[in-house]
């Protein structure tokens, strides 16, 4: 009767994978990515958990008569950073889940799980 030993081995392996996922998630939350727009006129820095940590706007991007262009640059830089965070998440998590991340960041959601995380939370709704 090897079934109980097989079950114990499966449970041990699952615990190892879960621990590795948690470690990868913590690394993502601490890693920063940068997105740019307009030839680096606007730069947005965020964590892998999609928390914006810095926005830089060069003076030449500011035109009081054309605020809409600046808004577009900020949005484009955010999207670039968001995509970078999604790629980072895929690189760190997909190998641990056998590639089950689903091809990148969800539309409009958090790049590492589709949910915004609160302070101290890990934003991986359905992975663990």
How far apart are the C-alpha atoms of 56 and 104, rounded to whole Å? 26
Residue 38 lies in a domain: yes
Two tokens, residue 47: 């964590």
Q: How do residues 1-16 score in pLDDT, each as one tens digit? A: 456 788 888 998 889 8
23 contacts 15 by C-beta, under 8 angstroms = no
Q: What is the pLDDT of residue 100?
A: 56
CA distances (Å), origin 46, targets 14, 29, 63:
31, 9, 25
Residue 33 lies in a domain: yes
The pLDDT-based confidence of 55 (bands split at 50, 70, 90) is very high
Two tokens, residue 80: 């670039």
Percent of the chain whose pLDDT exceeds 70: 74
63 pLDDT exceeds 90?
A: yes
Residue 112 lies in a domain: no
According to DSSP, residue 52 is labeled: E
76 contacts 38 by C-beta, under 8 angstroms = yes
Residue 102 lies in a domain: no
How far apart are the C-alpha atoms of 35 and 128, rounded to whole Å? 28
Q: How do residues 66-81 score in pLDDT, each as one tens digit? A: 999 999 999 999 999 9
Q: What is the pLDDT of residue 61?
A: 95
Q: How do residues 36-48 score in pLDDT, each as one tens digit? A: 999 999 999 999 8
> Which is it for strands 32-37 and 52-57: parallel, antiparallel or unpaired?
unpaired
CATH number at residue 82: 3.30.1310.10
Q: What is the pLDDT of residue 35?
A: 96
Residue 101 lies in a domain: no
């Amino acid at each position: 009767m090897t079934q109980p030993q097989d079950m114990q081995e499966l449970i041990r392996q699952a615990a190892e994978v879960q621990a590795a996922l948690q470690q990868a998630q913590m690394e993502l939350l601490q890693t920063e990515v940068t997105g740019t727009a307009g030839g680096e006129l606007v730069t947005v820095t965020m964590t892998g958990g999609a928390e914006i940590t810095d926005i830089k706007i060069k003076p030449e991007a500011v035109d009081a008569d054309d605020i809409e262009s600046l808004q577009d640059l900020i949005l484009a830089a955010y999207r670039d950073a968001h995509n970078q965070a999604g790629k980072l998440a895929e690189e760190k998590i997909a190998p641990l889940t056998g590639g089950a991340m689903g091809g990148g960041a969800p539309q409009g959601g958090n790049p590492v799980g589709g949910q915004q995380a609160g302070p101290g939370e890990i934003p991986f709704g359905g992975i663990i």
